[in-house]
Amino acid sequence: MRKIKSIFILTIFIYISANSVSNVMAQEQPFRIGLKFGFPQLAGLNLEYITPLLQKRLAADLDFSYISLTPNNITVTYTNFAIGANYYFFREGKGLYGGIGYDQMGIKASGPISVTENEPTTTINGNFNSKLNNLELKIGGKHGGLFYFRWELGYLISLNNPQYVLTGTSNGTTENKPFKFVKPNNVPLVDIGFGFAF
């Protein structure tokens, strides 16, 4: 009888210990930091935090990219910022997930720019700055533990219709030259990434 009682107590102790360890392990790596490559990030930083909400399946997600190039004396800067939430369907912070968020793409250009508008081409010192706001819908997968790999597919749905205006200075005169740009309603989102959890 004493043996049975001891085995029973030991079984309960092991069960409670296993559950405690599982909960600790699930919470000990809620932060993820990594890199993403694709569109719209091109190349950028990704941060994710697995919250305790919805049985630790809801995560806050942040992307940021800043790329600056100077081809032909023209400085072009591309930025991308996205913030949203991911929901992991089957496991706590791992496997397949769906995401929704807000995304903003920005592009700036400055320098000598050639302009043709029903006249011979002229070169002006111009500045261009535009931002495109989007609703981000995606599915993805995160695979691994301490070091992980992730992939994402989805769409960016445009939320605004920005004006495309080139501000230029020529012979001491500053003028604005609007120009047309065909903006698609839906832009595909495709990226891969890797990083580590802590």
Q: What is the pLDDT of residues 10-67, one digit of tens each?
A: 555 444 444 443 344 445 689 999 999 999 999 999 999 999 999 999 999 999 999 9
Please calculate the CA angle 78-83-87 and round it to the nearest 5 degrees. Answer: 135
Report the chain's mean pLDDT, rounded to a whole number: 81
The answer regarding whether domain 30-197 maps to CATH 3.30.470.20 reads no
Has residue 154 got a pLDDT over 80? Answer: yes
The model's pTM is 0.74
Between residues 8 and 124, which one has the greater pLDDT?
124
**Residue 110: what pLDDT?**
78
Question: Bridge partners of 94?
Answer: 91
pLDDT band at 129 (very low <50, low <70, confident <90, very high): confident
The secondary structure of 8-47 as a DSSP string is: HHHHHHHHHHHHHHHHHHHHS--EEEEEEEEETTEEEEEE
Domain ranges of the chain: 30-197
Has residue 181 got a pLDDT over 70? Answer: no
pLDDT digits (tens, 9 = 90+) for 77-103: 999 999 999 999 999 999 999 999 999
For the record, the structure tokens of 187 come out as 């832009």
In sequence order, the 6+-apart residues with CB closer than 8 A to the CB of 193 are 34, 35, 36, 37, 46, 149, 150, 151, 152
**Residue 126: what pLDDT?**
72
